[in-house]
Amino acid sequence: MDLETFTPGSGRLEPRAALRSDAPALDLNGTWRFRLSPTADVPADFADPGYDDSSWDDLPVPAHWVLHGHGAPAYTNVRYPIPVDPPHVPNENPTGDHRRVFDLPDGWTGGRLRFEGSDSFTRVWLNGHELGFSTGSRLPVEYDAGPHLRPGRNVLAVRVHQWSAATYLEDQDMWWLPGIFRDVTLTRSSADVFVHAAYQDGRGRLSFDGSGTLSVPELGVTGLRPGEEVTLDVEPWTAETPRLYDAELTLPEETVRLRVGFRTISIEDGVLLANGRPLLLKGVNRHEFHPEHGRAVPYETMREDVLLMKRHNVNAVRTSHYPPHPAFLDLCDELGLWVIDECDLETHGFGEVGWRGNPTDDPRYADALLDRMRRMVERDKNHPSVIMWSLGNEAGVGRNLAVMADWTRERDPSRPLHYEGDRSCAHTDVYSRMYATHAEVEAIGRGEEDPLDDAELDARRRRMPFLQCEYAHAMGNGPGGLAEYQELFERYPRLAGGFVWEWIDHGLVHPELGYAYGGDYGEPLHDGNFVIDGLVFPDRTPSPGLLDLKKVFEPVRFAFGDGFVRVVNGHGFADLSHLEFVATVTVEGATVAEHRLEVPAAGGECKLPDLTGGPDGERWLTVRAVLAGDLPWAPAGHEVAWGQTRLAGPATPSRGPAGPAFVRDGGELTAGGCAFDAATGRLTRLFGLDVEGPRLDLWRAPTDNDRYGGLEGRWRALGLHRLTHRVDDVATGDGLTVRTRVAPAATDLGMWATYRWTFDGGLRLELDIEPDGEWPDPIPAIGVTMSLPGDAVERVTWFGQGPGEAYQDTGLATRIGRWSATVEELQIPYVMPQENGRRAGVRWADLGAFRVSGEPEYGLSVRRWSTDELAEARHLPDLVPGERVHLHLDLAQQGIGTATCGPGPLPVYDLMARPATLRLRFDPS
């Protein structure tokens, strides 16, 4: 059966550049007729123009049929959802037949049918004539429609099989989503051109391959012929300064409009350079994803992605793991992002069978692999934003890589080659790894990586720049460790930066579950929520991870000294003239003064005005760099970077006179609206409110990183989610002292916890804890938990880090201030519920009913569900507000890290069991 052919296609025209031409084109997107069959073995009679499709359904094109009520999506990461048996596929092979009737405008002759992307094996008929078939889902294909077009009514019939021999080349970690998911057009354009626009030694060089003549009016270039080169005074293109020049290619039959950006990528002394200057990639991996449309991403959404990236100081994208919709690259040219364009190739699932039969090393697949590379390079070769070609992702090693690389070097020597899957780098120009630890990255930065067995390859690799094509796995709460990676990237010239995994959570909108992930459609084989690992939530709301990344990627840094601030320009290419600098002085988070700073365009030391005056209290200076005027990607006033420094420490906490001892009242000990059970020492009333706790808590709802890193398993084995509490002693005197031992069942490990309560108008707690026994692992948290009636807290106002969540190694985006949020707003809606929403560095928090102050500070979480309920929940709708509101006041929590893929928290962020004291004070509001 031809589905099992190794041939990538038939009847197709030579690949060419994606171009904007004035040649007539007919948009064939829209409503098509559609029928789904469970197997491939269905008569092809529907291709007949006279076929009656009135019993079929309507389906929009572009779309994935599984997102329109036909079949269902399925998610696997590495594993193939079909047996690993190339080139064969199961008989169960969802097959979508599509029909579209269109009228040809009068006088129209000739043309090409162009499909920008169809997943996966696509056969095309026009008016009953088979034009051919194609594979390579995320790549364009064109057929010559001319001979079969008719005046008036035409019928296009397209059959798409989900599985074919080509499926083995498309094992990317994402939903399996068949369908014609990108645009379909009938175009009379046939132009191709390869523009070469270099920038060297301060000047531009322009030439092109193809036919016709090229003009760039703004540069006075007219009538340039193929092969001719001109040297010009130009402004270079960079992602920071995406200068484009409008150009026109004039051909006998059509005129093509191009936007030319002059730039040169090179590697010198193991350093990646753009226009002769070091290039530091502050990147993200972007899959194409929309929560309702899958990979049929609307143009506005692509644009939103680029805008969001730019606004979060991202300067680079790896198009993981296939070429994106061509319009995305236009946006990268226009708004400025460096792009690694990656071929539509992944054979990861062969790893499950020891890489036996890997297509990457199977000569029968050589044509298909080369075909994919050619179609990508030809389509995208004119984009200044595209600075590297990537052969693919996780496709193992094998001789077909050489075939792809050799052809590409010949065709386009101007762009370095990338491929991570072959550690020897035999076919690449850069050394790339994924999820390497900080220590390994540092070793590579120093040129001290472990040698390869082959001395020649080793020497070659040692001369290469290094990048992490994936790092900091943004799954769930996290990633931690960002700042330390960035610090390394900036310290060692060999390190060209990297790309965080990944841009977006691939959660599909689901009527009951909120957002669906693997398994939610009943897939027999799936990888759960591993597809929910993005920096933005499915609706593209930035997650705390993206806010942290923005901070870490800031292109301006502030170093504060006595009476001055040093402003460091961290841009690679731009100066600071597009920014304004605002200094704000706050006391306890309230603004007391604001000044505009004069900062030289090159950066430098800047004297600060007198920052004293106003009330006493904790005083901070915040300096913000904001856009001075509107830019195409953000309006004036948009904050690009900030720094903060403490000018004066907190005022000494006010304490009332040592209060009277607690008064015994029946079975209670009371003071000012607060009461304890005299027998157990438990707090039962807090300023009139019925409370449970506070009592020692070591647990948190495990994060994805806790789970995949193995900590959750060890914590549960130890029983940290089911602590028991034993009161050993309740003593009154100046105050109330309650000695306890807190421990899980079935172990001799435990914690001594001593609560010392005093009252001076406010209620003070000093909780001493001391481990009993040798605790081997980090623990989730050290803190107390208490609960109150649900209506006691609606809104929390606090002075501390905010506005977002923060853990030991995250929350870099938070700053000291006074913040306010409702209980609902304090929750971070991770698609897979888990520990979230902790506010750090809290000096005081006003909960409405009372106020809790730290001595000096604490971590605060407020929820309408318990930790157990949070840990049990699988989707957001599982979290139902209960009758109580739960407060968690902690001294510290375990770091977050990125162990879902990569290292756990760095050792300094491990929370080891140790003697500690938590001091809190409760006052009526």
Residues making contact with ligand IPT (CB under 6 A): 77, 173, 321, 393-394, 434-435, 470, 473, 501, 530, 533, 901
What minimum distance in Å lies between the beta carbon of 476 and ligand IPT? Answer: 12
What minimum distance in Å lies between the beta carbon of 173 and ligand IPT? Answer: 3
Neighbour tally for 636: CB within 10 Å: 12
Of 416, 436, 413, 411, give the one whose Cα is nearest residue 427: 416
CB of 173 or CB of 192, closer to ligand IPT: 173
Residue 564 has, within 13 A of its CA and on its CB side, a CA count of 9
What minimum distance in Å lies between the beta carbon of 32 and ligand IPT? Answer: 31
Cα–Cα distances (Å) from 585 to 328, 551, 596, 797, 804, in that order, read 42, 20, 12, 20, 21
Residue 394 among the catalytic residues? yes
What minimum distance in Å lies between the beta carbon of 707 and ligand IPT? Answer: 14
What minimum distance in Å lies between the beta carbon of 170 and ligand IPT? Answer: 12
CB of 528 or CB of 882, closer to ligand IPT: 528
What minimum distance in Å lies between the beta carbon of 485 and ligand IPT? Answer: 16
Q: How far apart are the first and last CA of the chain?
A: 77
CB of 192 or CB of 704, closer to ligand IPT: 704
Q: Judge whether 531 and 289 are in contact, CB under 8 Å.
A: no
3-state secondary structure of 630: coil
CB of 473 or CB of 540, closer to ligand IPT: 473
Of 294, 283, 285, give the one whose Cα is nearest residue 506: 294
- Burial class from Cβ neighbours inside 10 Å (0-12, 13-18, 19+) for residue 865 reads buried
Residue 340 structure tokens? 């690694």
Of 301, 294, 355, give the one whose Cα is nearest residue 328: 301
CB of 114 or CB of 321, closer to ligand IPT: 321
CB of 470 or CB of 697, closer to ligand IPT: 470
Calpha distance 649→669 (Å, rounded)? 36
Cα–Cα distances (Å) from 696 to 192, 765, 846, 918, 920, in that order, read 70, 12, 22, 10, 13
Single-letter amino acid code for the residue at 568? V
3-state secondary structure of 886: strand
Residue 756 structure tokens? 């010392």
Choose the catalytic residue: 342, 394, 712, 835.
394
What minimum distance in Å lies between the beta carbon of 351 and ligand IPT? Answer: 8
Of 625, 611, 601, 616, give the one whose Cα is nearest residue 564: 611
Residue recorded with tokens 């990125």? 898
Choose the catalytic residue: 170, 342, 470, 588.
470
CB of 323 or CB of 589, closer to ligand IPT: 323
Q: Judge whether 335 and 242 are in contact, CB under 8 Å.
A: yes
CB of 162 or CB of 285, closer to ligand IPT: 285
CB of 852 or CB of 901, closer to ligand IPT: 901
**Which residue number has the CB closest to ligand IPT?**
173
Calpha distance 11→682 (Å, rounded)? 80
What minimum distance in Å lies between the beta carbon of 470 and ligand IPT? Answer: 6
Calpha distance 195→670 (Å, rounded)? 83
Cα–Cα distances (Å) from 403 to 360, 394, 469, 917, in that order, read 10, 17, 22, 64
Single-letter amino acid code for the residue at 352? E
What minimum distance in Å lies between the beta carbon of 340 and ligand IPT? Answer: 13
CB of 168 or CB of 237, closer to ligand IPT: 168
Calpha distance 859→843 (Å, rounded)? 9
CB environment 426-436: b (16+ within 10 A), e (fewer): bbbbbbbbbbb
Angle CA 171–172–178, to nearest 5: 75
Dihedral over Cα of 686, 689, 690, 693: its sign: negative
DSSP class per residue in 20-79: EE-S-EEE--EEEEEEEEEES----GGGSTT---TTSEEEEES--GGGTTSS--EEESSS
Contacts (Cβ under 8 Å, ≥6 apart) of 276: 200, 201, 264, 266
What minimum distance in Å lies between the beta carbon of 344 and ligand IPT? Answer: 13
What minimum distance in Å lies between the beta carbon of 901 and ligand IPT? Answer: 5
Neighbour tally for 413: CB within 10 Å: 8
Catalytic site positions = 394, 470
